[in-house]
Amino acid sequence: MSAEELRPILEVENLSKHFSSKRRGRTTVVKAVDGVSFGIWKGETFGLVGESGCGKTTLGRTIIRLYAPTSGTIRFSGREVSGKMTGALRKYLTDNIAMIFQDPIASLNPRMTVQEIIGEGLKIRGVTDESERRRRVEYMLERVGLQAEHATRYPHEFSGGQRQRIGIARALVVEPSMIIADEPVSALDVSVQAQVINLLNSLKREFHLTVMFIAHNLSVVKYVSDRVGVMYYGKLVELAESDEIYHHPLHPYTKALLSAVPQPDPHSEKSRRRIFYEGPQAVPEGALAMREVIPGHSVYCTEAGLAAYRRERDA
Amino acid sequence: MRVDDLSVSFRAYAGLVKAVRGVSFHLDKGETLAIVGESGSGKSVTMKAILGILPKNGRIDSGSIIYDGQDLAKFTEQEFYQIRGKKISLVFQDPLSALNPIMIVGKQITEALTLSLGMSKERAKVRALELMNAVGIPDCETRFHQYPFQFSGGMRQRVVIAIALASDPEILICDEPTTALDVTIQARILELIKEIKAQRGLSIIFITHDLGVVANMADRIAVMYAGKIVEMGTSDDIFYRPVHPYTWALLSSIPDLDTKEALVSIPGTTPDMIHLPPGDAFSPRNKYAVALDFEREPPMFRVSDTHCAATWLLHPNAPKVEMPELLANRIRRNAEERIADER
């Protein structure tokens, strides 16, 4: 095993992203991401769940530096990418990490053909030969389950699921080593969600991708992910392998998320008790941290909380 | 309410779109009927026809919508004023576009009361605060004077529900009320709709693309595909004894928390509603299709008193086909868990 494989491909350490706004001379600070640390291994799918406004999208966008981090470090393949933005760093990031967006309508330019949308990244990377670009776009279209003829059409001619496939083709055509998929299926019908999830899974294997999968639905995340991180109000509150998190959720917010997933079984649904999480109890500043309950399973808690979680995990 | 053989079509540039093709169902008092289908299956168009809000190029070709002894399909716009928003109310999918962004939410609720019920402003305000309280909006007095952008998605949907309830309707039509919301918020809104239904004895038509959502809501479920109801039954019938291949496919595409097997997706896309394939519209995507499916449309076959489905597989001469193993396993596992729970 080489040294490269002993370290995660993406390392996020104590990352924070705060937004401040001034109104009538008063400054308010929103801590969208607040001291988050985790790593993603090469070839792994890392799921990130949480509800709207918990900072999961901000985290994804800070990693590919659409936002500048307030503090903390991000390393990709050992190289720090959280510093000052330069042309070389931008190129390094966009060559290696690509993004798939949530809204398949808003994220595709309605005035560009599919060929132009997917080929744009190649053009920027200096693939000047028109026929070479066409060949690679058509190859990519076929890989995502569309047809070469679709290249000359416009986004409005496609259904939601097909548009999301175009978004995937656009991300993959530049041969990135990692993909950040931000709620790629939330806007789709359940039957179409399954198609897109299966497609992402098979492409991941085919292109040896590392994937960060952001979503609000734990059942979808569990399906695709090797490990899952749960976010709540800017903090990572639980991190574990996806089976572990499903069978032994410890943090109350994770339990609430799990209990909210609708299941196609009327009897158990009617008897099921929903758990609602009302926010954390007040504890002294600094007492909370990510603590490992069992190897590979950490929860954001106090020392006393850790002991309680350990007992709960063993029970 | 009883809908009989309803057909709706749209004149479009490319031809006549047959969006709803002969839909029949009934809604009993105090019951929740869920209409489930993919985008473009005609479920929203059916709802629009019931409320008389079809777009200009849409037309009811045939059929009747009998409510309270009257046929809504033949109503004029004037006559609809007596029904829409009063006896039958609607909860929209997207709470942000359903609300007026430059009007305080209190005004939007009292507007429904003063305009349609002729209440005085003072009484309307008292009633509006009651409604906001009933749908679980905390701190009503302050919230009353706020604008929609100051509300979160879940709270906005509660406002929309409050407006729908303002006139004390008998029927509430919910068109994908939770699709735009997070799972946790979705769970809360579903609980709220259930509570309100029980308190007020409402009848609900619940439209959604997600079968999972209706499992704890619906008394009966109608599954729609390409403008037709393909299977209808009690929620037990649909979840535990589904017979139509399309229902099988829909159920199999729901992520299962217990296992990690590959999701079964439905191949292809919904058919072109202008040039429908001959025979059963689902047959090109149906791996269980028999030759007859490509020639003639299947009639409704009765499975039991409460359960019927339109598939040739139910014909006595059809080959015996079992539901997909994955789905059968899941249903069996759920049943085992239930028995274990009961012990």
Q: Give the pLDDT confidence of B239-252 residue by residue, as tens digits.
A: 999 999 999 988 88
Q: Does A37 touch chain B (CB under 8 A)?
A: no
Distance from CA of B64 to the nearest CA of A (A): 30
pLDDT exceeds 90 at position A52: no
With contact defined as beta carbons under 8 Å apart, do A18 and A69 qualify? no
Q: What is the pLDDT of residues B109-147, one digit of tens each?
A: 998 888 877 889 999 999 999 999 888 888 888 999 999
pLDDT at position A7 over 80: yes
Instruction: Evaluate whether residue B196 is within a structural domain.
Output: no
Q: Examine the pLDDT at B280 and tell me if it is beyond 80.
A: yes
Domain contains A159: yes
In chain A, % of residues over pLDDT 90 = 50
Q: Give me the residue from B183, B236, B253 closest to A257, CB to CB.
A: B183
Label residue A262 by pLDDT band (50, 70, 90).
confident
* Confidence at residue A72, expressed as pLDDT on a 0 to 100 scale: 93
Query: Does residue A55 sit within a domain?
Result: yes
pLDDT of residue A33: 93
Residue-number span of the structural domain to which A220 is assigned = 3-280
Q: Which of residues 162-221 of A touch B (CB under 8 A)?
A: 162, 189-195, 197-198, 201, 216-220
Exposed, middle or buried: residue B83 (CB in 10 Å: 0-12, 13-18, 19+)?
Answer: buried
Q: What is the pLDDT of residue B260?
A: 64
pLDDT-derived band of residue A5, with 50, 70 and 90 as boundaries? low
Q: Is residue A293 part of a domain?
A: no
Interface of B with A in 156-215 (CB under 8 A): 182-188, 190-191, 209-213, 215
**Of B123, B140, B168, which residue is a domain's last?**
B168
What was the pLDDT predicted at B284?
A: 82
Q: How close, in Å, is residue A146 to chain B by CA atoms?
A: 11
- pLDDT tens digits along B30-88: 999 999 988 888 888 999 899 888 888 888 999 999 998 889 888 888 888 888 888 89
Assess whether pLDDT exceeds 60 at residue A232: yes
- Whether residue B314 lies inside any domain: the answer is yes
Q: Is A149 exposed, middle or buried (0-12, 13-18, 19+ CB in 10 A)?
A: exposed
Q: Are A166 and A139 in contact (CB under 8 A)?
A: no
Cβ contacts of A191 on chain B, cutoff 8 Å = 38, 209, 249-250, 253, 265-266
Report the largest interatomic distance among the alpha carbons of chain A, rounded to a whole angstrom.
64
Q: Which of A175-184, A193-202, B255-264 has the lowest mean pLDDT?
A: B255-264
- Do B164 and B309 belong together in one domain? no
Task: Collect all residues of chain B within an 8 Å Cβ-Cβ radius of residue A268.
Answer: 334, 337-338, 341
Report the gap between the CA of A196 and the closest CA in chain B (Å): 9
The CATH number of residue A23's host domain is 3.40.50.300
**Per-residue pLDDT at A172:** 93
Chain A residue whose CA is closest to B154? A52
- Give the one of A218, A219, A266 whose C-beta lies nearest to B216's C-beta: A266
**Nearest by Cα to B233 from B25, B3, B6:** B25
Cβ neighbours of A49 in B, within 8 Å: none
| Of residues B94 and A97, more confidently modeled | A97
Reported as a single tens digit per residue, the pLDDT across A219-228 is 888 888 999 9
What torsion, rounded to 10 degrees, do the Cα atoms B208, B209, B213, B216 define?
Answer: 60
**pLDDT band per the 50, 70, 90 thresholds, residue A4:** low
pLDDT tens digits for range A209-220: 999 999 988 888
pLDDT digits (tens, 9 = 90+) for A112-154: 999 999 999 999 888 888 899 999 999 999 989 888 888 999 9
Would the CB atoms of A223 and B185 count as touching at under 8 Å? no
For residue B153, the chain A residues in CB contact (below 8 A) are 52
CATH number of the domain enclosing B50? 3.40.50.300
Q: What confidence score (pLDDT) does residue A1 get?
A: 45
pLDDT tens-digit series, residues B252-275: 888 876 666 667 777 777 777 777
In a domain, B3, yes or no: no
In a domain, A307, yes or no: no
Count of structural domains within chain A: 1
Question: Which residue, among A188, A244, A267, would best test binding to B if mutated, counting the most B CBs under 10 Å from its CB?
Answer: A267
> What pLDDT was estimated at residue B329?
85
CB neighbourhood size of A2 (10 A): 5
Q: Is the CB of B216 less than 8 angstroms away from the CB of A269?
A: yes
Q: Sheet holding B15-26: strands in order across?
A: B15-26, B2-12, B58-67, B70-71
Total domains in the fold of chain B: 2
B309 has a pLDDT exceeding 80 = yes
- Distance of alpha carbon B1 from alpha carbon B11, whole angstroms: 28
Residues of A in contact with B39 (CB under 8 A): 159-160, 189
Residue A313 has pLDDT above 70, yes or no: yes
Res A118: pLDDT: 94
Span B141-196, pLDDT tens digits: 899 999 998 888 888 999 999 999 988 899 999 998 888 788 888 888 898 999 99
Cα distance from A79 to chain B (closest Cα, Å)?
34
Range of the domain at B238: 26-54+75-87+174-184+204-343
Mean pLDDT, range A273-301, rounded to an integer? 82
Tokens of A160: 């939601």
| pLDDT for B259 | 66
Contacts of A86 (CB under 8 A, 6+ apart): none
On whether both B304 and B220 belong to a single domain, the answer is: yes
Cβ contact (<8 Å) for A192 and B182? no
pLDDT > 80? residue A273: no
Strand-strand pairing, A297-301 and A235-241: antiparallel
